[in-house]
């Protein structure tokens, strides 16, 4: 699967691209069927909410589950990403971010490169985040908010927030967010389950809490070129994987083909 010229122009301008219903209902069902067991595991890669104790993000899933091991190699994700990057990429991070109904907590305003640079020693903001909606994502259940075009301003000042949630995050202050939003506005990434989303390492984004009765689970794969590899190893492997082997796409029907007995 290759992006059109118009899609590439939109990604370059806005910093993100929504691909509606890229994955079928059957493919999403195959992924959702794996979540309960993964979330129930006593694993340090499962990070829970500060207040409710519900899973906030489950990481390293391609190393913990065979179906997610296929998803990180799916051509509908990899081919557009490699087209944008223009070179091979390794699997930097894999997770499902969860906003459980009624209790899902916020993700503050941030951009991913602030963490990748400060904590992993990544030199350039080249990584791509590839999302797949595992539930319908609406304006009501905690969608991602983006500031379109904010990536064009380069890295914003960011400070490490260890108090707001259970997951420390390098956040952008309100004054900077207000100034960026005055220029670019705000956009919410919504769509039915199976929708995919691509955004870059400098795009400023956030998501509100979920007080609706509807779960919101989003798969995330971050790819990064080996030429932009981390220079420090302070974080555990599930937060930035150490295997720099370039990822290779599988067949398009891989999610629905049973594993050999």
Which tokens is 242 given? 């150490």
Which tokens is 254 given? 């891989």
Which tokens is 165 given? 């949630």
Which parts of the chain register pLDDT below 70?
259-261
Crossing angle (nearest 10°) for helices 75-85 and 5-14: 70
> What does pTM read for this prediction?
0.96
Q: State pLDDT tens for residues 76-89.
A: 999 999 999 999 99
Hey, is 89 helix, strand or coil?
Answer: coil
- For residue 259, what pLDDT is reported? 62
Q: State pLDDT tens for residues 105-148.
A: 999 999 999 999 999 999 999 999 999 999 999 999 999 999 99
Nearest by Cα to 92 from 81, 100, 104, 108: 81
Q: How many CB atoms are located within 10 Å of the residue 236 CB? A: 13
User: Alpha-carbon distance 53 to 166, whole Å?
Assistant: 10
- For residue 258, what pLDDT is reported? 80
| Beta carbons of 56 and 165 less than 8 angstroms apart | yes
CA atoms within 13 A on the CB side of 33: 10
* 5-226, CATH topology level: Jelly Rolls (2.60.120)
Q: Transcribe 93-145 into DSSP letters.
A: EEEEEEE-TTTBPPEEEE-HHHHHHHHH---SS--EEEEEESS-B-TTS--EE
- For residue 70, what pLDDT is reported? 98
Strands (E) across the chain are located at 16-19, 46-48, 55-59, 90-99, 107-110, 128-133, 144-146, 159-161, 169-171, 187-189, 196-200, 205-207, 216-224
């Amino acid at each position: 699967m290759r992006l059109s010229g118009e899609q590439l122009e939109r990604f370059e301008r806005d910093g993100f691209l929504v691909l509606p219903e890229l994955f079928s209902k059957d493919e999403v069902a195959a992924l959702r069927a794996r979540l309960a067991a993964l979330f129930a595991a006593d694993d340090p890669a499962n990070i829970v909410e500060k207040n409710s104790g519900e899973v906030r993000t489950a990481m390293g899933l391609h190393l913990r589950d065979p179906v997610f091991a296929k998803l990180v190699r799916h051509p509908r994700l990899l081919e557009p990403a490699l087209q944008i990057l223009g070179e091979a990429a390794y699997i930097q991070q894999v997770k499902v971010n969860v906003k459980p109904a009624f209790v899902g907590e916020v993700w503050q305003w941030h951009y991913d490169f602030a963490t990748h640079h400060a904590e992993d020693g990544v030199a350039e903001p080249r990584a791509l985040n590839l999302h797949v909606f595992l539930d319908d994502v609406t304006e009501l259940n905690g969608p991602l908010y983006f500031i379109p075009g904010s990536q064009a301003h380069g890295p914003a000042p960011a400070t490490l927030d260890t108090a707001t949630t259970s997951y420390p995050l390098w956040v952008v202050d309100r004054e900077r967010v207000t100034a960026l939003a005055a220029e670019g506005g705000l956009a919410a990434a919504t769509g039915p389950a199976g929708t995919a989303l691509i955004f870059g390492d400098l795009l400023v984004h956030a998501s509100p809490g979920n007080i609706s009765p509807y779960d919101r689970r989003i798969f995330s794969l971050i790819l990064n070129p080996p030429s932009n590899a981390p220079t420090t190893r302070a974080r555990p492997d599930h937060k930035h994987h150490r295997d720099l082997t370039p990822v290779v796409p599988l067949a398009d029907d891989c999610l629905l083909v049973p594993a050999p007995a």
